[in-house]
Amino acid sequence: GDSVTQTEGPVTLSEGTSLTVNCSYETKQYPTLFWYVQYPGEGPQLLFKVPKANEKGSSRGFEATYNKEATSFHLQKASVQESDSAVYYCALSGGSNYKLTFGKGTLLTVTP
């Protein structure tokens, strides 16, 4: 079946430093790749998605490139802010049943 592996947390960074959260995936489908973010007490919300290989997605200064050859979709941000503190999930969707497969999440804490 499908699987997603991402950087194990927690990750603690100082404001203004750069972030990379690694994500790799396995699937026999042609997936759409997603990054979701979850804040305490809420459900996950979409950060961005990339449906096509070799394309880049971005939102709020976060970005990731769908690398089909390397089966990777690493999340990056050049300068994190305290408000970026949350849990980040890499996910993929493929196949006829629309199921979204999540990684285990990476807890990011940004200190002032």
Phi/psi of residue 41, nearest 5 degrees: 80, 5
**Smallest distance, Å, CB 19 to other proteins?**
18
Q: Min. distance of Cβ 45 from other proteins in angstroms?
A: 7
- Please count the CA atoms within 13 angstroms of the CA of 21 that sit on its side-chain side: 32
Identified binder of other proteins from the candidate list 28, 43, 69, 112, rule CB under 8 A? 43
Structure tokens at 73: 């979709």
The CA distance from 26 to 17, in Å, is 30
CB-CB contact of 75 with 20 (8 Å): yes
Rg over alpha carbons for the chain, rounded to the nearest Å, is 13
Question: CB-wise, 69 or 96, nearer to other proteins?
Answer: 96
Could you say which residues in the range 13-42 bind other proteins, by CB under 8 A?
32, 34, 38, 41-42
Size of the residue set binding other proteins (CB under 8 A):
23
Nearest distance, CB of residue 3 and other proteins, angstroms: 12
Binding stretches for other proteins (CB under 8 A): 32, 34, 38, 41-46, 49, 51, 87, 89, 93, 97-102, 104-105, 107
